[in-house]
C-alpha cells in the first residue's frame, strides 16, 4: 500500500512538473511572437470587440450593483460613528484599487476566458490545429497573439469603465437611498482619492488580462479526449485563472501599498 501511494504521488508530481515545463515554453513562444510583424490588426480588432464591447453591459451591471452594495454597507457602518460622509472615499478606494479590476477580470473569465478555451479546445480535438501546422501556420501566432493583444487593451479599458460605474452605484445608494449629504460625500471622495489609486487598479487589470488569456489559451491548446476533454479543459482554465488573478492581486496590492500607496 505504501509503495502504491508513493508511486501515485510520484506520477502526480512528474505530471505537474511536465505541465509547468510546457507552460514555460508556451510563455517563451508567445513573447517571441508578440514582437514579430506583420501584426494581424483585423483579428485584434475582432477580438477587442468580442471581449470588450460585447462585455460592457455585464461588466457595468456587475460593478454598479457592487458599488451600491459597498455604499450601503459603508454608510450603515460609518453612520454609527457619525462619519457617513466618508463613504464616498471608501467606495472609490474599494472600486479603484480592488473591486473594479478583480470583478472585471472574473466576469471576463466567465464570459470570454471559458469561450477561448472551449473554442481552441474544440479546434484541437477536431484536428484543426494540426491542419494549421500542416499549412506551416503557427497556432500561437494565429490563435493566441491576437487574443492577447485584445485582452491587454480591453481589460484596463473595462476596468476604467467599472471604476466610474461602481462609484456611481455607490453614490446612488448613499445619497438617494441612505440620504447622505451629496456635497460632503463628493468633497471627501475628491479629497482622499488620488491618481495613484486609479492607475494601480489599471496596472492590475493589465496583468490580469495577460494571466487570463495565457492560461485559457494554454489549456485550450492542450485539450485531449473529445467533447469531455473540452469541458474539462474549460473548467480547469476558469478555476486556475480565477485563483491566479486573486494570488496576483494579493502580491500587487502588497507591493503598491508598500511602495506607492497609503495604507
125-168: pLDDT as tens digits: 887 887 877 787 778 888 888 999 999 999 999 999 999 999 99
Confidence of residue 263 (pLDDT cuts 50, 70, 90): very low
Sign of torsion, CA 135 137 139 143?
Answer: negative
The pTM for the full model equals 0.89
Q: What is the mean pLDDT of residues 96-100?
A: 92
* Among candidate residues 163, 207, 184, 170, the one with its CA nearest the CA of residue 82: 184
23-27, 43-47, 57-61, 78-82: range with highest mean pLDDT? 57-61
Q: What is the mean pLDDT of residues 62-79?
A: 93
Euclidean distance between CA atoms 93 and 146, whole angstroms: 33
Look at 35 and 71; give whichever has higher pLDDT.
Answer: 71
pLDDT at 195 over 60: yes
Of 31-40, 63-72, 210-219, 240-249, the one with minimum mean pLDDT is: 31-40
Taking each continuous run of H as one helix and of E as one strand, the counts in the chain are 12, 0
Amino acid at each position: 500500500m505504501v509503495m502504491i501511494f508513493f508511486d501515485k504521488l510520484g506520477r502526480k508530481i512528474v505530471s505537474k512538473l511536465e505541465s509547468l515545463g510546457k507552460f514555460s515554453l508556451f510563455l517563451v513562444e508567445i513573447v517571441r511572437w508578440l514582437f514579430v510583424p506583420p501584426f494581424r490588426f483585423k483579428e485584434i480588432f475582432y477580438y477587442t470587440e468580442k471581449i470588450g464591447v460585447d462585455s460592457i453591459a455585464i461588466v457595468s451591471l456587475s460593478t454598479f450593483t457592487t458599488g451600491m452594495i459597498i455604499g450601503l454597507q459603508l454608510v450603515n457602518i460609518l453612520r454609527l460613528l457619525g462619519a457617513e460622509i466618508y463613504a464616498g472615499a471608501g467606495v472609490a478606494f474599494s472600486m479603484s484599487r480592488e473591486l473594479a479590476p478583480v470583478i472585471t477580470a472574473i466576469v471576463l473569465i466567465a464570459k470570454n476566458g471559458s469561450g477561448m478555451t472551449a473554442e481552441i479546445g474544440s479546434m484541437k480535438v477536431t484536428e484543426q490545429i494540426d491542419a494549421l501546422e500542416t499549412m506551416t501556420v503557427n497556432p500561437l501566432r494565429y490563435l493566441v497573439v491576437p487574443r492577447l493583444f485584445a485582452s491587454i487593451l480591453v481589460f484596463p479599458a473595462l476596468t476604467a469603465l467599472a471604476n466610474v460605474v461602481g462609484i456611481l452605484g455607490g453614490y446612488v445608494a448613499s445619497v438617494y437611498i441612505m440620504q447622505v449629504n451629496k456635497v460632503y460625500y463628493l468633497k471627501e471622495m475628491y479629497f482622499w482619492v488620488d491618481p495613484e489609486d486609479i492607475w494601480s487598479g489599471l496596472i492590475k487589470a493589465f496583468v490580469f488580462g495577460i494571466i487570463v488569456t495565457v492560461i485559457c489559451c494554454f489549456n485550450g491548446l492542450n485539450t485531449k479526449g473529445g467533447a469531455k476533454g473540452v469541458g474539462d479543459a474549460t473548467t480547469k482554465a476558469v478555476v486556475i485563472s480565477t485563483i491566479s488573478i486573486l494570488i496576483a492581486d494579493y502580491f500587487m496590492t502588497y507591493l503598491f501599498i508598500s511602495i506607492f500607496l497609503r495604507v
